[in-house]
Structure 1
Amino acid sequence: MQQDSPGTDTRLALDLALTVRHDGHGQVADDLADPAGLTAWVLAHPGVVPDTEAFAADASTLAAVRDVRAAARALFARAVRPGRPSPADAARLLPVPEALRRLNEAAARTPTVPVLAWSEAADPVVRAAPAQGTRADLAAALAQAVIGFLAGPDRPRLRACHAPRCVRYFLKEHSRQEWCKPSCGNRARVARHQDRRRRTA
């Protein structure tokens, strides 16, 4: 059965986690290795901060966002139990209490208020916006998205892909899905076939 499309918090939380990825050459790559990488990521996610086009990351913003990402990936690893976490950071995950502390502290940096939008052709939509007099904090916005995802209806569908060389988390779309994308499924089948041939040779 096809699942509903993931919500904004889910998509943003997953996209943040997926800034850790396989580089295609046997190594784990980090799209947030420097402020330029974070700036490019924010530009690819319009609306994550007000005035996205003017955003330019600095070292302290990068450190705060990487902190939120580390917390998110640790909590994603908890969410996929009893399955295995992503191999990208399985050996160096934050302890869950530390991940929760970092995530909650980051989320608290920007007080938000609910803002109602209601166009003529749609149902009412509520979004969180910075309270008056506060400036949006990127790490806080991302932490709030991760919290929204982990406490929301999509979390039970979260899986870690264990195809060879893959380090991604994904949402399981149907009951037989084992990998994040078809190419990972193909690699996994080829690896199993080669492993069987080695054992019978």
Structure 2
Amino acid sequence: MSDISAGAQDTSLSLDLALTIRHDGHGGVADDLDRPEALTAWVRERAGALPDAAGFEADATALAEVREVRAAVRALFAHAVRPAAPSPADADRLLPVSEAVRRLNAAAALAPTVPVLTWAEGAAPLVRHEARTAAPAPDLLTAALARAAVAFLASEDRERLRSCHAPRCVRYFLKDHPRQEWCKPSCGNRARVARHHERHRAEA
């Protein structure tokens, strides 16, 4: 895997994990990883980015470990977007930054790997990470997610991370252009409608 593709993959995995916490459409927050079967499906949908994903079967322990990594990721996302406010889903339950960092580092260490260089004739050199020792599939998954988050948080992409503050949205997103305020156009529409109603109430 090249450094460029690895960086994009790290960003995508980290955001994908964070976005398994979402607005439920009824004023509350939904968790897409609420049971082992949901984690199994989520992992298998990312077979190109996660180790041994095609045959992965989650259990309660794997689910708990991934959700711990997610809590750490969202706490550090909230830290990264300061001085802006964090996602409303996180505001009342954020881990301390030191605990989130400790949790990510511990998860990343579950499956020790080494970088392996390959360089085919006529191609660019590639680096992939191979396990040094055998590890259970849940540990491989947890370590991969934690490492993706560590790489993303240490990258320049972190500077583009924002929390969306459109009504009812709890998402984080990467700001793609200077005027972008929301994660998607529908959130922008809701925010503009809410501002319009607020102005009319203030004038009444």
State the TM-score bracket (shorter-chain normalisation).
Answer: over 0.9
Map of 1:150 onto structure 2:
153
Distance 1:50 1:73 in 2: 22
- 2:97 is the alignment partner of 1:99: no
Q: In angstroms, what is the RMSD of aligned CA positions?
A: 1.8
3-state secondary structure, aligned to 1:54: coil
- Give the aligned partner of residue 185 of structure 2: 182
Q: Write out aligned runs for 1:46-61 (5 A).
A: 46-61=47-62
Q: 1:54 Cα shift?
A: 1.1
Residue 149 to residue 92, structure 1, CA distance change in 2 (3 Å): same
Aligned equivalents of 1:60 and 1:155: distance in 2?
30
Q: Which amino acid aligns with 2:144?
A: A
For 1:156-167, what aligned pairs fall within 5 Å after superposition?
156-167=159-170
Task: Give the match for residue 33 of structure 1.
Answer: 34
TM-score normalised by the chain length of structure 2: 0.91
Partner of 2:86: 85
Partners in 2 of 1:156 and 1:88 — Cα distance? 21
Map Cα deviations across residues 41-96 of structure 1 (whole Å, 9 max, x no partner): 10111134433221110010000000000000000000000111000111110011
1:51 and 1:195, CA in 2 relative to 1: closer, same or farther beyond 3 A?
same
* Residue 191 of structure 1, CA deviation: 0.4
CA distance in 1, matches of 2:117, 2:19: 30
The residue identity in structure 1 corresponding to 2:141 is L
Matched residue type, 1:181: K
Equivalent pairs counted in the alignment come to: 198
Shift of 1:190: 0.4
The amino acid that maps onto 1:124 is P
The 1:184/1:135 distance shift into structure 2, 3 A limit, reads same
Deviation at 1:23, TM superposition (A): 1.6
Q: Give the ranges of 4+ consecutive aligned residues of structure 1 lying more than 4 Å apart after TM superposition.
A: 117-122
CA 1:40/1:192 → structure 2, altered by over 3 Å: closer, same or farther?
same
Report the Cα distance in structure 2 between the residues aligned to 1:42 and 1:184, rounded to whole angstroms.
Answer: 27
Distance 1:39 1:197, change over 3 A: same
Instruction: Give the partner amino acid of 1:183.
Output: S
Structure 1: gaps of 5 or more residues: none
Aligned partners of 1:171, 1:184: CA distance in 2, in Å? 14
Q: CA deviation at 1:115?
A: 2.5
